[in-house]
Chains A and B, each alone.
Chain A
Amino acid sequence: MSASAAKIAAPVESLVLDRNGARVSPIGSRAFLLEATGAFDLASQRRIWALSRAVELWSETLEIVPGMTNLLIVLKQTAEDPEALASRLLEAWEQAESIDLTGRRIEIAVTYGGDHATDLAALCDRSGLSDREVVRIHYEGTYRVFALGSAPGFGYLHGLDPRIYMPRKTVPSLNMARGCVTIGGMQTGVAVLTGPNGWNSIGFAELQMFDPMSSMPAVMAPGDTVRFVPASIEL
């Protein structure tokens, strides 16, 4: 690399700003990600929800995408002054008060085990728990929809018991069915599309999560409370 290339590179690297419990980094020329670096909990998420409301009003904002204790902001055009924008995001985070979204209560009937629970055995191996215990821990939990994303109407659920955390797969399943009840790291959710999926399936739910023709296309919304109800357990 030439000296001039190195000169160009230096300020780019410093674009990752890390302070007061949050970190901002760019994705391409028009998007910035703010990640809360503290605990993976509801308190952090409630501040993300507050931050989302503030950033949504900025004139340069095209889209905001709240994630799991993080927020992606997509700008209408390339940021002319990325450092200033990153600083502004961090300031908005520092000022973001907590808000609570009082959502609906959603119950999802699940067939635990059976043909679709392709990764239950691996989860037992990893956790040292029996399949019955894994399933019980999963359906006894109360979950909050932290964010929607990945595929239409997919809700990222927080509240998974750390005993059944399971990393995403190294090699994704090529054709996981829509409706599979899955665990991805410290998150859980129900697959909304059939296709490649790196999360671990432990059951199946018959549920339409998305209708593009509806005025409210997604069934779930951030803040909703979700409970899984075992319709049957096939172990």
Chain B
Amino acid sequence: MIEIIQTGPFNTVQDLGRPGFRNIGVTTSGAMDPLALKIGNSLLGNESGAAALEIQTYPFKLRFSKATAFAVTGADCGASIGGRTIQPCCALSVEAGQVLELGQPRVGTRAYICITGGIDVAPVMGSRSTSLRGAFGGREGRHLMTGDTLQLGEVSNPLNLPAAGLSVVDPTYALAEVYPAPQDGVLLVRAIPAGEHALFGADAERFWSQTWKISTQSDRTGYRLMGDPIKPTTPVEMRSHGVVSGVVQVPPSGEPIIQMADANTAGGYPKIAGVIEADLWRLGQARIGSRLRFVRVTHAQAAEVEKAVTGFVEDVRLTSRMVCGALQAMS
């Protein structure tokens, strides 16, 4: 069991989401940085989609009421355990009663606290993710509050972690070949033109060429971008259709919205582009007020990135198992 000692608003239980119910209007939810969630779980020997805590407001503190192991992935927020600073992306054993503390992130925005066995809240419609808008899933459909206690899943055969912990290189570096570094602090987000791209005429080029700023009206539902407005050459009243996270819609104001994990499942605004799946986690770590530019890519390029990311997670899983297995054999 763990006990939340201190938390800001909007911290929730998340897993990889609730696919399969968009056709009844249920958003997938799930971690805004699914890669961080998978890495944390893989390090611990959990299933890659085990539920974790998604922390996006700080400081955050929890107490472990039994001995277990955990990893903090995603944003680097100078985490400490029992007052001792720990490395980012590091799986560590803890004793009962120890306190984990997360401060303001130095890099990124969302941290994931993965724990052996995963957070064991009751699954709703196949997922433990919190749907804040729908008020179900996770901890009673709401964000975490001070004093909350959460059960952990049972594991029959936990990994035997090294005493010093087991770290993985931050994916930003490990996957540097497939993730271009920001240019002058501008995040490059890869996207594919969507159905109404041509409708924007000359403005479509300005969509790709300009630098957009993530506005304060941005959260798990979507990011509103600020910049030089783009408009379709003729207004359209679309028939409502299903959408996925990453879709970039352009409302009449001309400033695009990127739908994120808690997005509506359907929409009717003209869509100019769709962010590729493998780049969504980088958006999930982008700060309000930071700048981004869209880079046009093909499906083939998207598939390449996806393969590299899948390979990396698999590598973490296998290496972790191997190292811990060897340690077990030696002891």
What residues of chain A have their CB less than 8 Å away from a CB belonging to chain B?
Answer: 1, 5, 8-9, 11-13, 15-16, 23, 25-31, 33, 35, 40, 62-72, 74, 77-82, 147-154, 156, 167-168, 170-171, 184-187, 192-193, 195, 210, 212-213, 217-218
Contacts and interface: CB of A to CB of B under 8 A. Distances in A.
B61 interface: no
A64 B268 CA distance: 17
Interface string B234-248: 000111111110110
B25 A153 contact: yes
Contacts, number: 199
Contacts of A31: 242-244, 274
A171 B255 CA distance: 12
B193 to A, nearest CB: 6
Nearest to A27: B274
24 contacts: A13-B198, A26-B195, A27-B243, A27-B247, A28-B274, A28-B275, A29-B274, A31-B274, A63-B22, A72-B242, A72-B244, A74-B19, A77-B303, A147-B266, A148-B23, A149-B22, A149-B240, A153-B25, A154-B25, A185-B238, A185-B268, A187-B240, A212-B136, A218-B25
B134 A152 contact: yes
A29 B241 contact: no
Given A170-B252, A187-B240, A150 B192 contact: no
B211 to A, nearest CB: 15
Interface stretch (B75-83, B293-301, B313-321): B293-301
Contacts of B208: 1
A62 B277 CA distance: 14
8 shortest A-B CB distances, which residue pairs? A65-B242, A28-B274, A72-B242, A149-B266, A25-B195, A67-B241, A29-B302, A68-B239
B133 interface: yes
A11 B298 contact: yes
Nearest to B195: A25
B30 interface: no
A64 B23 contact: yes
Interface string B261-286: 00011111001001111100000000
Given A13-B197, A78-B306, A40 B239 contact: yes
Nearest to A170: B252
A67 B22 CA distance: 10
Given A16-B198, A67-B241, A218 B24 contact: yes
A80 B22 contact: no
B144 interface: no
B25 A33 contact: no
B39 interface: no
B133 A153 contact: no
B246 A27 contact: yes
Given A70-B239, A78-B277, A62 B192 contact: no
A16 B273 CA distance: 12
B22 A192 contact: no
B155 interface: no
B20 interface: yes
Given A67-B266, A193-B133, A213-B124, A150 B240 contact: yes
Interface in B125-148: 125, 131, 133-134, 136-137
Contacts of B137: 212
B133 A151 contact: yes
A172 to B, nearest CB: 8
B266 A12 contact: no
Contacts of B275: 28
